[in-house]
Amino acid sequence: MEIVSSTGLDGLPWPELLPDRSPVLVFPAHPARLPVPEDGWAGCDAARTFPAAPQPGWSAVMTGTRLTIHRPGGAIWFDGEITATREWHRRLRDQHTLLLITGAFTSAFDLRPAAAAGRLLLLTAPVGHTDNP
């Protein structure tokens, strides 16, 4: 059994897999990671079409367990360790894309109510790897 330490209770993102096994990273709201609609974030009503093609200008690199995500223009949107299962890492390596979910929630407990209220934002980013975990 693999232990996944991030639960969203500490404000850090946590990994998920969609029913089709596509990798997702869920980001609680944080002032340093504001989603800008002009950067390609879509409301959750668009979720029926996700995972969509990666948004132009976004890029992500996974180095071991460290993920760095750049928004358009090159600014870092996220840089940190991701504690995820082997399957999540395998799927990310195989698919080369990552669905990012954020919105008006600050913990895993707030995610469901935010989704029910239509307050989630989604974006797909391309992912490269510099080594295998």
Percent of the chain with pLDDT over 90: 62
Query: In which band, very low, low, confident or very high, does the pLDDT at 72 lie, cut at 50, 70 and 90?
Result: very high
The domain spans of the chain are 23-32+40-131
Angle at 127 (CA atoms; ends 71, 90), nearest 5 degrees? 145
Q: Which residue blocks in the chain are alpha helix, DSSP H? A: 86-95, 108-116
Q: Is the dihedral angle over the CA atoms 120, 123, 129, 132 positive or is it negative?
A: positive
What's the rounded Cα separation, in Å, for the pair 79 and 116?
A: 29
User: For residue 119, is pLDDT > 70?
Assistant: yes
- Asked if 47 and 118 touch (Cβ cutoff 8 Å), the reply is no
Q: What is the mean pLDDT of residues 89-102?
A: 95
Taking the C-alpha atoms of residue 127 and residue 93, their distance in angstroms, rounded to an integer, is 8
